[in-house]
Every structure is written in C-alpha cells, then in structure tokens.
C-alpha cells in the first residue's frame, strides 16, 4: 500500500534559519506530489506541486521542493524562514494508477521563533 | 461559490446520536473528497466522488459512515450512532480535475461526548 512518511513531527527554528522538511513515499510508479500548509486557525492550502518536468519546484512564499525519484523523496525547503511560516506542513502523494485519492503524511509542525 | 464551504463549523453531539456534515464544493469542480484529520494522525482519506462515477468508499472506517453527493454538487457525510473515536475534524475538498490539486474547506470539528 502507498504511504507517505514525514519524519520530522515538530521543528523549531529561529527566524532567518534555513528549513528542510523531509517527505518520503512508497510507491514504485509515477506520482504527483504536493505540499500543503495549514496556518493556525486556517484551512489547508496548496503550497506547491510536482507533476512532471523540472524536479525542482518553486511554490508560494519562497518555498521550493525537490523531487528525487531514486530516493522516493520530495523534501520541502526554504532558505530563510519567517515567524509567519509557523504552521503545519503536509506532504501528499497521488499515484497515477487510476486512483484519485491523495495519501497524506502525518504532518510537521513548524514553529518559528521571532 | 468562491471556495469550498462546510457546515456546521463545529458540532458537539452525544454518543449514539447521528450527525450530518455538509460540503458545498467550488462550482464546476467535478471531484469531491472527504478526509478526516485527527490529532497527530494526519489526514485520513474517507471517500471520493468523481462526476457520475461510482464513489470510492474504500476509506470509510465502518458501516456507520456513509456519504452522498446530490446532483454532482453538494455532498453530505453521515455518521450514525456516533462514538467518541469519531471525534475529529472532517475536511472536504474539491478539484477541477484529477491531479489538479485540492481546494480544502475549513472543516467541521466534530466532538462526541
């Protein structure tokens, strides 16, 4: 069965620190990959997505993610975090095997200290 | 509408009662999804509707859970004989087409007491 692993459950950083959140998935075929963000008290929002092409994907608010097929990974990065990046981040995978559902990771809570 | 609308935003119910949760997707979005978000559990897929196709119910945790989508638009998730373990945030999402990325609603926080 497909699964998504986010190994960092809680991350605390100071402003201006660099961020990398890990995401690994288990599925041998072609996938679409997503990162969603949930700011405190708000609904889930799409941060960025990868379908095909350039494995380095740029999203909103300075975030980017790199798809490394050989490692089954889609890590999220930001060179310099801000206090406003405090949120929960979810990685999701959609396998191109006829199923339309996304499999989500358990999320990573990021707290940025001002 | 401009976004995915869910109602109620909060629901407190007694154990054993039935509840109905409503989702109004973005107009024109053919795909509609229900997920459940429990503390520390991430998002758990429940059910998926796509156009007039038979829904994918593979994520419904028990036969107390059911959902329907009327006229290809509004969806209702029904939980019968609620249990305390049903307490969670129930999220609805819609998408224009497969793989396009979901737009989520704000969710319904269900508390079973």
> How far off is chain A from B91, nearest CA to CA, in Å?
9
Q: Are B21 and B11 in contact (CB under 8 A)?
A: yes
Look at residue B1 and tell me whether its pLDDT is greater than 60.
no
Look at residue A103 and tell me whether its pLDDT is greater than 60.
yes
Rounded-to-10 torsion of CA A34, A38, A42, A47 = -40
The two three-digit tokens of residue A84, written as one number? 């406003």
Chain B nearest-CA residue for A31:
B99
Q: What is the pLDDT of residues B32-77, one digit of tens each?
A: 999 999 877 789 999 999 888 889 898 999 999 999 998 879 999 9
Cα distance between residue B14 and residue B12, in whole Å: 7
pLDDT of residue B39: 78
pLDDT of residue A98: 60
For all residues of chain A together, what is the average pLDDT?
92
A41 phi and psi angles, rounded to 5 deg: 75, 5
Q: What is the pLDDT of residues A13-55, one digit of tens each?
A: 999 999 999 999 998 788 899 999 999 988 899 999 998 899 9
Q: Are residues A105 and B42, on separate chains, in Cβ contact within 8 Å?
A: yes
Residues of chain A contacting B, Cβ within 8 Å: 32, 34, 36, 42-46, 49, 51, 90, 92, 94, 96, 99-107
Q: Are residues A102 and B102, on separate chains, in Cβ contact within 8 Å?
A: yes
- Judging contacts by C-beta atoms under 8 Å, the chain B residues touching residue A92 are 43
Cα distance between residue B77 and residue B92, in whole Å: 10
Which among A76, A69, A73, A75 has a CA at the least distance from the CA of A53? A69
Half-sphere exposure of A33 (CA within 13 A, CB side): 33
- Any CB–CB contact under 8 A between B55 and chain A? no
Query: Which stretches does DSSP call E strand in chain A?
Result: 3-5, 10-14, 19-21, 24-26, 31-38, 45-50, 56-58, 64-68, 73-78, 87-95, 103-104, 108-113
**Would you call A110 exposed, middle or buried from its count of C-beta atoms within 10 A (0-12, 13-18, 19+)?**
buried
Those of residues 20-39 in B touching chain A at CB distance below 8 A are 31, 33, 35
**C-alpha distances out from residue B74 to A83, B56, B57, Å:** 37, 17, 17
Band of pLDDT at residue B87, cut at 50, 70 and 90: very high
Q: Are A36 and A98 in contact (CB under 8 A)?
A: no
């Amino acid at each position: 069965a497909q699964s998504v692993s986010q190994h960092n459950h809680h991350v605390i950083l100071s402003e201006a620190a660099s961020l990398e959140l890990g995401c690994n998935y288990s599925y041998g075929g072609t996938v679409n990959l997503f990162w969603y963000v949930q700011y405190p008290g708000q609904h889930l929002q799409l941060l960025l997505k990868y379908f095909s092409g350039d494995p380095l994907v740029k999203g909103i608010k300075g975030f980017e993610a790199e798809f490394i097929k050989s490692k089954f990974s889609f890590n999220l990065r930001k060179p310099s975090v801000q206090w406003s990046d405090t949120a929960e981040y979810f990685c999701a995978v959609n396998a191109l095997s006829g199923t339309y559902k996304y499999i989500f990771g358990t999320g990573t809570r990021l707290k940025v200290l001002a | 509408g401009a976004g995915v609308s869910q109602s109620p935003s909060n629901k407190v119910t007694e154990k054993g009662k039935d509840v109905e949760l409503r989702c109004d997707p973005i107009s024109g979005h053919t795909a509609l999804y229900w997920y459940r978000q429990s503390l520390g559990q991430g998002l758990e897929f429940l059910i998926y509707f796509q156009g007039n196709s038979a829904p994918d119910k593979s994520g419904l945790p028990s036969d107390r859970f059911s959902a329907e989508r009327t006229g290809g638009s509004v969806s209702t998730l029904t939980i019968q004989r609620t249990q305390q373990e049903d307490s969670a945030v129930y999220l609805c999402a819609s998408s224009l087409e497969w793989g396009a990325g979901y737009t989520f609603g704000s969710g319904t926080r269900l508390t079973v007491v």
